[in-house]
Amino acid sequence: MRPPRTISIVGGGHAAAQVVASLREEGYDGRLVLFNAEPQLPYHRPPLSKDFLKSAEPQLKLIRSQAFYQTAGVDLAIGRSVTAIDAGARRLVLAGGTSHSFDAVVLCTGARPRRPALEGTHLRGVMSLRNAEDALGIRSRIAAGSSVVILGGGFIGLEISAVLSELGLSVTIVEAADRVLAPAVAPEIGRFLEHLQRSWGVDIRLNSGANRLLGSDAVEAVELADGEILPAEMVIVAAGCDPNVDLAVAAGLACADGVLVDRSMRTSRLGILAAGDCVRGPRAGIADPIRLGSVQSAMEQARIAARTVVAKATPDQAVPWFWSDQRGTKLLMAGLAAGATREVVRGNVEEGRFSVFLFKDEHLAAIHSVNAASDHMAARRALAANLLITPDQVRDPAFDLQAWSQGDRDGGRSIQ
């Protein structure tokens, strides 16, 4: 295949920034154009629900500097939204009607907050959080003593709640499931974080849901399914996100709640690849393709997409991992917990320093840790190497996880 002369990247998040960096690292020397709907250079999204909301002078953390794109020879089309892909003619159509031809395109369009079908979501003060503009909007509504209702007890909901309660707002989380962070995180950890949040004064309503949002111009309250009215100056919808697939669907690419890709990040159309939160792809050992929403997977998929474009072999997938931070309590997760059949706790739950090892039958499938970075890193190495561990070993404080992860099957126990 003739190497592409112009590669276009649609999107401006972690995946897009990494695609251009990796393409240059892989030796691609043709034209690179990055189209980003947002008015900034790609920046780190995770701080938006953490430090950015509370720091006195909030600053976006750029993933790469302006100088990087210059030196790498990337044409930046910042603040330019791509409205259509003409896959046959290999052209991108931009807002305003101009078009750009490409030899290959990588879709890195990310995801957007899910908006539930709920009366009143158009009211002023109803927010969600995905980008810098959203975060600035939430910041501008922060006032000590005011009430905020967060719809959804997922990662973003809990992180926002941790910050806003610290800033003196009165926070209520409304969650449909019987625990927070379901089903993503081990129940033990969900319960731990629920107690932690409650100890900060956060009101958590489980098995609950919003009926509608009340207000005339600005939101004033949330009506719950059981009729209770929660007054609120701000409502934050944090009910998960949906992949941005509109472009791909309109261009005729195969999509199923995500742009479908193979393990090399190729979509169903030749010359069109995709990476990051917008894709759904295969995973070794898992029957159906899955969608991951994390910085680590966005970066990994971007590196793979870049290698595919320059016709290099696709490496094996790394162990997926994710982190979350709530007022300094660090949650770290590695592996894929879906379908786990057994959970084993290691460490001290009362002291807030423990890990939950999730087994699928005999095999370790995932580990979720609270303030236990070394457990996390050891298990990540071990998951990558498919090392065996038994529930008894997990529970045994004398079993040395570090030694085990470095290949000592008995975790330092055999020498005793």
Partner 1 sequence: MTRIRYVEPCGRARDVEVDQGLSVMEGAILNMVPGIEAECGGACVCATCHVYVDEAYGSTLCPPNATEHEMLDTVASERRPTSRLSCQIKVVAALDGLTVYLPERQT
Ligand X SMILES: Cc1cc2nc3c(=O)[nH]c(=O)nc-3n(C[C@H](O)[C@H](O)[C@H](O)COP(=O)(O)OP(=O)(O)OC[C@H]3O[C@@H](n4cnc5c(N)ncnc54)[C@H](O)[C@@H]3O)c2cc1C
> Rule CB under 6 A: which residues touch ligand X?
10-16, 35-38, 45-46, 48-49, 81-82, 108-111, 129-130, 156, 244, 247, 276-277, 293-296, 298, 322-324
Q: Does 101 bind partner 1 (CB under 8 A)?
A: no
Q: Name the binder of 110 from partner 1, ligand X, none, CB < 5-8 A by kind.
A: ligand X
Take residue 179 and report the two structure tokens written for it.
Answer: 């625990």
Give the DSSP letter string of 285-307: TEEEEE---SHHHHHHHHHHHHH
Residue 110 contacts residue 276 (beta carbons within 8 Å): yes
Instruction: Please give the radius of gyration of the chain, using alpha carbons only, rounded to the nearest integer.
Output: 23
CA distance 363 to 84: 45
CA distance 19 to 244: 18
Q: Does 330 bind partner 1 (CB under 8 A)?
A: yes
Q: Name the binder of 332 from ligand X, partner 1, none, CB < 5-8 A by kind.
A: partner 1
How do 210-215 and 219-224 pair as beta strands? antiparallel
Q: Does 40 bind partner 1 (CB under 8 A)?
A: no
Among 111, 113, 143, which residue's Cα sits nearest to residue 127?
113
Smallest separation (angstroms) from ligand X to the CB of 274: 9
Nearer to partner 1, 20 or 253 (CB): 20
Nearer to ligand X, 80 or 307 (CB): 80
Give the DSSP letter string of 360-373: ETTEEEEEEEES-H
Residue 43 contacts residue 51 (beta carbons within 8 Å): no
Q: Does 374 bind partner 1 (CB under 8 A)?
A: yes
Site string for partner 1, 242-281 (x = CB under 8 A): ----------------------------------------
CA-CA distances (angstroms) from residue 183 to 154, 250, 275, 285?
9, 32, 24, 20
Looking at 10, 259, 332, 340, which residue binds partner 1 (CB under 8 A)?
A: 332
Q: Does 407 bind partner 1 (CB under 8 A)?
A: no
Nearer to partner 1, 57 or 392 (CB): 57
Smallest separation (angstroms) from ligand X to the CB of 243: 9
Looking at 95, 286, 373, 385, which residue binds partner 1 (CB under 8 A)?
A: 373
- Please give the single-letter amino acid code of residue 263: R
User: According to CB under 8 A, which residues from 386 to 405 bind partner 1?
Assistant: 402
Q: Does 323 bind partner 1 (CB under 8 A)?
A: yes
Q: Name the binder of 35 from ligand X, partner 1, none, CB < 5-8 A by kind.
A: ligand X
CA distance 204 to 197: 8
Which residues, 6+ apart, have CB-to-CB distance to 407 below 8 Å? 385, 387
Q: Does 325 bind partner 1 (CB under 8 A)?
A: yes
CA distance 279 to 10: 13
CA distance 47 to 39: 18
Looking at 279, 306, 378, 394, which residue binds partner 1 (CB under 8 A)?
A: 378
CA distance 210 to 85: 38
Nearer to ligand X, 15 or 210 (CB): 15
Residues forming contacts to partner 1 in the complex (CB under 8 A) are 44, 46-47, 50, 61-65, 67-68, 71, 295-296, 299, 323, 325, 330, 332, 371-374, 377-378, 381, 402
